[in-house]
Amino acid sequence: MTAWTRHHLLPQVALPPTGYRPAADHIDVWTLHADPVTADSAQRLTTLLDASERRRANSFLSTDRRDTYVLAHLALRLILANCLGTAPRAVTISRAPCPSCHKPHGRPTLPQSNLHFSLSHTRTTVMIALAPTRVGIDLEAVDRVDAALLRRLHPNEQEAIHRLPSAHRSPALLDCWVRKEAYLKGYGTGLGAGHLQRLDIGPGPQFGGHSAGPPAGWLLTPLAAPPGYAAAAALRSRTAAGRQPTIARHGCDLCGRPAHAADENRLRRVRPATYVSVLDIQGEP
């Protein structure tokens, strides 16, 4: 299957040119929506997933969750395949050792490649990040905010949020959560073993007051998200603290439509978006 053919498989996925590599301190972000048409197209392409991904997809009782999972992993494989110049089924994704316990359940990696990526999906929305160094991305629904979520944060963060005016507490809590989860995903430990409560990042600077900021060597940045969601990314960097990475947004605009070809954030050299039906694709040679 050629890169040009892969470009047409999912209308929402604007693929990078073959061999693409992000620049230093740069993150490419795709926002995708599992609308009925896209979800149906993705379900027809599950043979491009590996066996473990297909088992995981089949384990979901909810059709919506299964559709979103399949779209997320299929889109990731299409993007990575173009960057690596290989077929989607040939992309091998493994797990790095966990930084805490050194067991093989850390962040997902591409063996023998300097590309780094992260994936987050919730309900019917997917976000994928691609970067030249370790990266983490998190997407959360706004209505997920509750007291239980607050109690999982560091005591300093809980206190800082309580001190805010009532109208700012929920946005600050969600901002703190997505920034922290993005970092833990990029670092490789994930949310288990009490990492959320031990790590003190604080709400973003837009909320004033306490903000411990990102861990040394990392950049944290909010991401534009569809209505009803919040998102953030964390990027490993050698630059001075406080600098923000550059973000290029691809795939869809925030209303769920394919991004306009003239959008300055589209990937460089991506061919014009002229789509063919997935039924016209006969499979991968």
CA dist., res. 257 & res. 204, Å (int): 29
**DSSP state letter for 257:** S
Cα separations in angstroms, 283 against 17, 108, 161, 217, 254: 21, 27, 52, 43, 31
Asked whether the beta carbons of 214 and 199 are under 8 A apart, the reply is no
The number of residues in the chain equals 285
Both tokens assigned to 33:
């929506």
CA dist., res. 54 & res. 73, Å (int): 10
Average pLDDT for runs of 10 along the chain of length 285: 54 83 95 89 91 95 94 94 92 83 79 93 94 96 87 90 91 92 87 72 79 81 92 88 83 42 32 25 27
**Residue 73: how many CB atoms within 10 A of its CB?**
26
Mean pLDDT of the chain: 80
pTM for the structure as a whole = 0.84
Which helix (H) or strand (E) segment is 247 a member of?
strand 246-250
β-bridge partners, 75: none
**Residue 95: how many CB atoms within 10 A of its CB?**
13
pLDDT in tens, 173-216: 999 999 999 999 999 876 665 677 788 888 888 887 666 677 88
